[in-house]
Amino acid sequence: MKEETLNTLMQEYDVNKDGKFSYEEFEEFLNSILRKEEVQEIFNKYSSSIFERENQVYKMMSPRDLIRFYQHEQKQTMTLESIRELSDSLANAEMDDYVVTFDIFNSILFSPSNMIFNSAYLHPYQVNLLLKFL
């Protein structure tokens, strides 16, 4: 992400314009970065279930949907047991009972075990820039 783009985003989420993020502003800012349209499209592509709550319809992945995602998109062979190990929220669930919501899917994709960059560089430039703003 370019510095100019990051600065614009940070100013957009600094609601009270005090030059600092409150906890709520920072949470919204991070959520906006993590909720990429491409991730939602992939999630929708592999979700085979839906549920309704409070007049809202949500898509969900079954464990087998998540295995298909890993096979087709990530070219990785996963088992039901390895899927269970991907997230704390899945670890204690019964295999037939758990579902993967978009938030769980997002947290799996951005978890340390799925990072695609060298972990020696966990403090990238954007984080330094962000910390200057805080």
Domain ranges of the chain: 1-34, 48-114
Structure tokens at 119: 């972990």
Identify the pLDDT of residue 38: 76
The residues near 130 (Cβ < 8 Å, ≥ 6 apart) are 6, 10
Q: Are 99 and 61 in contact (CB under 8 A)?
A: yes
Identify the pLDDT of residue 65: 92
Identify the pLDDT of residue 115: 56
The one-digit pLDDT tens for each residue of the chain (134 residues) are: 567 877 887 888 888 888 888 888 887 877 776 667 778 889 999 998 887 878 888 888 988 899 999 999 888 898 888 887 777 656 555 555 677 888 888 878 777 666 554 455 545 545 555 555 55
Interaxial angle between packed helices 102-109 and 37-46, expressed in degrees from 0 to 180 and rounded to the nearest 10: 120
Residue 100 is which amino acid?
V
Identify the pLDDT of residue 1: 55
pTM: 0.57
Under DSSP, is residue 100 helix (H, G, I), strand (E, B) or coil? strand
Identify the pLDDT of residue 22: 85
Q: Among all chains, which residue has been given the structure tokens 């954007």?
A: 126
In DSSP terms, which residues pair with 52 in a beta bridge? Answer: 57
Identify the pLDDT of residue 117: 47
